[in-house]
Amino acid sequence: MGPHGHLLANGPLYRLPENLKLNADMRLLDIGCGRGTLLRVLDEQVRFTTPPVGIDLSTEMLSRARDDEAGQRFAQATATALPFADGAFSLVTAGYVIKYLEDSDLEAFLREVHRVLAPGGLGLIWEFGPTGNRALDGWNARAIGGGSEALRLRSTATLIERASDVGFSFVTDADLRPFLVPPIPRSSVLLGIPPDDYDGTPVYRA
Pairing of strands 53-56, 73-76: parallel
For 202: left if phi > 0, alpha if psi spans -120 to 50, otherwise beta; the answer is beta
Mean pLDDT by 10 residues, the chain (206 residues): 54 86 97 92 95 96 89 95 97 95 97 97 95 88 72 94 95 84 87 80 49
Asked whether residue 89 is assigned to any structural domain, the reply reads: yes
Residue 22's pLDDT is 95
Residue 160's pLDDT is 97
Q: What is the DSSP letter of 97?
A: -
Residue 162's pLDDT is 97
Residue 9's pLDDT is 58
How many domains in the chain?
Answer: 1
Asked whether residue 200 is assigned to any structural domain, the reply reads: no
Give the integer Cα–Cα distance in Å for 93 and 112: 12
Asked whether residue 84 is assigned to any structural domain, the reply reads: yes
Asked whether residue 150 is assigned to any structural domain, the reply reads: yes
Residue 167's pLDDT is 94
Asked whether residue 112 is assigned to any structural domain, the reply reads: yes
Please report, for the domain that includes residue 54, its CATH number: 3.40.50.150
Domain span holding position 70: 3-192
For residue 36, how far is the Cα from the chain centroid?
13
Asked whether residue 106 is assigned to any structural domain, the reply reads: yes
